[in-house]
Amino acid sequence: MADDPFALFDSWFAEARLSEPNDAEAMALATADADGHPSVRMVLLKGQDARGFVFYTNLDSRKGAELAANPNAGLLFHWKSLRRQVRIEGPVSAVSDGEADAYFATRGRDSRLGAWASDQSRPLADRATFEARVVAMRERFGDGDIPRPPRWSGFRVTPQRIEFWSDRDARLHERRLFLATDAGWSEGLLYP
């Protein structure tokens, strides 16, 4: 058994990038509001290292508000082509402004304009309203630089628990569980 869940994740993620037909970095993000009401949606992994797993969003979105009220999250990667899943749970913290700025600068121009134009998760009267806001942002910034909006940033999930699930015949799956401890990681198996 491996004793480094990050190395195992990197290995599985590299395989998924070669085999998944779409978005190997797609992950389900589960959050809960202050009252414990859950919500889940798909987001994209934009960075991972020994500090955790990073994604970006509008801080005023539903997920942003939920993470502000309850800074804990669950992530799920499901790589169907490999018949594997990875579940990650832990506390969430904001990435630094420098990290958010650096990632935002790598996004396509239209995506950066969309971040300015969108009031993510808020009611929208019609599609034309949003499209008009994108046009207005295009006019505002012209051919110049598009800085990161103040309400747009990223979060890092620092794993306390990482489970690696492998599909097996007759539903006799393999589940390897890593738990963060003061001394590093403990590892064990779970019944399928």
Catalytic site includes residue 122: no
Closest C-alpha to 88, from 34, 35, 38, 48: 48
Rounded Cα–Cα distance for residues 127 and 131 (Å): 6
Rounded Cα–Cα distance for residues 72 and 36 (Å): 11
Q: Are 67 and 73 in contact (CB under 8 A)?
A: yes
Rounded Cα–Cα distance for residues 180 and 182 (Å): 7
For the chain, what percentages of helix, strand and coil (3-state, to nearest 5) are there? 35, 35, 30
CA dihedral 140, 145, 148, 154 (to 10 degrees): 140
**Active-site option among 62, 171, 175, 176:** 171
Q: Are 192 and 168 in contact (CB under 8 A)?
A: yes
H/E stretch holding 18: helix 5-19
Q: Is 98 helix (H, G, I), strand (E, B) or coil?
A: helix
Residues labelled as active-site residues: 171
